[in-house]
């Protein structure tokens, strides 16, 4: 089992789409059809590309990067001006947050930095099994609301079995998109056994070659703008056939998330 956030790396990627919870228009960053998607962050240095292309601007305004002494190492999902949700195994001292970034090569001028002044790791987190792999960061100063910075919406229902957009495993200047599939819970359990709990979900490509990887941890899985998962762990090496990535299922943690933000 490989943790998805151990390298000190600079940037990340995105995914997004339609969930399949009924009718409505399809959205999907230049990808046709009813594709689910999400936003991935912090790429591994290296030459491997797991398929994908640059995404147009928009649709990833809730993406943030977690920085440690100026180096990006994990991703996160913006829940409000003062709150970011990420993976618990991304906990570190002196976390800075970069929001509003689409291209490192061509900054828009709307990027903002903030600092995590409080870190709340889920009390049930296990660094051996990655159970309850979530943490909340409280930011100071609060981030602005702009066309480049907007929080993701929390889910009112669990995600079904739609498809995703996943970025490539390389180091691009801009957010990247590529298709992957949300794996049925039963199939996910048959692959990883008891390591996968009801609080986790799997997504990947049956044929391999499309996956999250080291440095992607904490990035959000979104569906029609709704936050459904947080990148957690997976098999090593990344992108193996029949070995999808594993994500923390955000819906199952709504009471803890809302209570924690409300008590701060």
Q: Which of 18, 217, 224, 235 is catalytic?
A: 217
By C-alpha distance, which of 131, 84, 114, 96 is closest to 227? Answer: 84
Q: Which of 18, 133, 224, 235 is catalytic?
A: 133
* Residue 89 bears catalytic tag: yes
Q: How far is CA 187 from the centre of its chain?
A: 22
Query: For residue 143, what are the contacts with CB-CB under 8 A and spacing of at least 6?
Result: 78, 81, 82, 97, 99, 100, 112, 114, 149
* Residue 161 bears catalytic tag: no
Residue 123: count of CB within 10 angstroms of its CB = 8
Q: Which two tokens stand for residue 167?
A: 């970025």
Q: Which of 89, 102, 122, 132 is catalytic?
A: 89
Q: Which two tokens stand for residue 119?
A: 């870190």
* Residue 54 bears catalytic tag: no
HEC string of 189-201? Answer: HHHHHHHCCCCEE
Report the DSSP beta bridge partners of residue 204: 181
Q: How far is CA 68 from the centre of its chain?
A: 18
Contact 22, 185 (CB under 8 A): no
d(C-alpha 16, C-alpha 30), whole Å: 10
d(C-alpha 140, C-alpha 103), whole Å: 24
Cα torsion 30, 20, 61, 196 to 10°: value is -110
DSSP 87: -
- Residues annotated as catalytic are 89, 133, 217
């Amino acid at each position: 089992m490989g943790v998805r956030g151990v390298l000190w790396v600079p940037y990340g990627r995105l995914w997004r789409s339609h969930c399949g919870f009924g009718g409505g228009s399809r959205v999907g960053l230049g990808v046709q059809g009813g594709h689910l998607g999400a936003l991935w962050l912090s790429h591994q240095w290296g030459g491997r590309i797991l398929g994908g292309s640059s995404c147009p601007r928009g649709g990833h305004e809730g993406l943030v990067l977690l920085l440690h002494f100026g180096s990006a190492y994990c991703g996160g999902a913006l829940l409000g001006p003062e709150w970011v949700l990420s993976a618990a195994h991304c906990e570190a001292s002196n976390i800075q947050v970069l929001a509003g970034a689409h291209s490192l090569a061509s900054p828009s001028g709307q990027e903002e930095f903030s600092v995590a002044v409080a870190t709340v790791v889920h009390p049930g987190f296990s660094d051996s099994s990655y159970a309850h792999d979530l943490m909340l960061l409280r930011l100071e100063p609060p981030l602005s609301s702009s066309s480049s910075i907007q929080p993701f919406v929390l889910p009112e229902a669990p995600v079904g079995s739609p498809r995703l957009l996943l970025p490539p495993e390389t180091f691009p200047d801009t957010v990247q998109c590529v298709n992957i599939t949300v794996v049925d819970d039963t199939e996910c359990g048959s692959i990883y056994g008891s390591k996968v709990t009801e609080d986790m979900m799997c997504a990947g490509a049956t044929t391999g070659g499309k996956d999250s990887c080291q440095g992607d941890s904490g990035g959000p899985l979104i569906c029609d703008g709704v936050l459904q998962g947080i990148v957690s762990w997976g098999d090593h090496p990344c992108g193996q056939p029949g070995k999808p990535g594993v994500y923390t299922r955000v819906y199952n943690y709504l009471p803890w998330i809302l209570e924690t933000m409300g008590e701060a």
